[in-house]
Amino acid sequence: MIKWIQQLFSSRKTENNTAGIKPEVHEHKKNNIKSVSNKYLIVGLGNIGAEYVNTRHNIGFKIVDFLAKKEGVSFETVKLGTLAQYKFKGRTFLLLKPNTYMNLSGKAVHYWMEKEKIPLENVLIIADDLNLSFGSIRIRPKGSDGGHNGLKNVNLVLNTQNYARFRFGISDEFKKGKQVDYVLGDWDDAEKTALPERLELASEIIKSFGTAGLENTMTAYNGK
């Protein structure tokens, strides 16, 4: 009888000692959690095809192309686009150029978010903006599409406007009725001369987004 009572108290003592111990997280689960939080999807919006390569509307493509070339990584053809992977300070940046054409950009964004398990707060969409002077930078945590068809489709497919967007100004120096020609036109000589410095700045913004966070990036770069 005494032996049974001793065993009972011994069992309760063991339970009490383990009550405050957290469940063990296996190493593969730790790695999965870490990889998700340190992975970022950077989407440059644009249109595929040689005729669009140097157009104002394709500045999103141009920015991610610049970063990839600078860091020595290459784009590979994947589902719904081309993709380059770049690692910096423990973060993985997936640089995506959708091949769906501008008006269906959201399909590619959604697919790669789901495939790579990237949370919405780790997504940055890069687009041109007619309402900003050439080369001006505006980074926001959310907002309307502003008349941009690529952003409009992203909003529709993701069913939210609450994602980070990086707008690059292309100005509105066009005559009445010539907006489409202007947006799908080539940069003028002065813009071509100024672009390298602006592209360098844009590549810094992308890296800052992943390492310093959105708020710090907005403070450091908006208006530059």
Helices (H) and strands (E) in the chain, counts: 8, 7
Q: Which two tokens stand for residue 18?
A: 């383990």
Listed in sequence order, the residues at least 6 apart from 204 whose beta carbon sits closer than 8 Å to its beta carbon are 221
SS3 at position 200: helix
Q: Which two tokens stand for residue 191?
A: 């813009």
158: closest CA among 125, 109, 123?
A: 109
Report the 10 Å Cβ neighbour count for 12: 10
Burial 27-62 (b: 16+ CB within 10 A, else e): eeeeeeeeeeebbbbbbbbbbbeeebeebbbbbbbb
Q: Which of 26, 28, 57, 110 is catalytic?
A: 57
SS3 at position 82: strand
Listed in sequence order, the residues at least 6 apart from 32 whose beta carbon sits closer than 8 Å to its beta carbon are none
Would you call 110 a catalytic residue per the annotation?
no
Amino acid at 102: M
CA distance 195 to 201: 10
List residues with catalytic annotation: 57
